[in-house]
Amino acid sequence: MTSIDVNLTARDEQVNEPWMCRLCKDFDISATITKANIESDFGWMQVRLTGPIEEVQRAITWLMTTGLHVDALQRSVGA
């Protein structure tokens, strides 16, 4: 299993999109919100993505296609 912490930043209409719901439904990972600040027109969220490395990578790639700003903070690989 792999865990990667990512910062996600959303602006304007992106704030109201259900990307966290899709992330959890469409990929074989768990997504844990560790910190967040969401306003009506801007928001950021720190999320820990955990699962098989291939699925975590696919999820991050998908997040980048949504127009969100995505920054990987750290990566830890555990058994």
Could you read off the pLDDT of 14-38 as tens digits, one per residue? 888 888 899 989 999 999 999 999 9
Domain count, the chain: 1
The pLDDT score that the predictor gives to residue 62 is: 94
- Supply the Cα-derived Rg of the chain in whole angstroms: 12
CATH number, domain with residue 70:
3.30.70.260
Q: Could you tell me the residue range of the domain that residue 60 belongs to? A: 2-77
The percent of the chain in helix, strand and coil, each rounded to the nearest 5, is 35, 50, 20
pLDDT at residue number 16? 87
At 79 the pLDDT is 44
- Residue 39 pLDDT: 92
Task: Output the pTM of the full model.
Answer: 0.85
Task: Please give the mean pLDDT across all residues of the chain.
Answer: 89
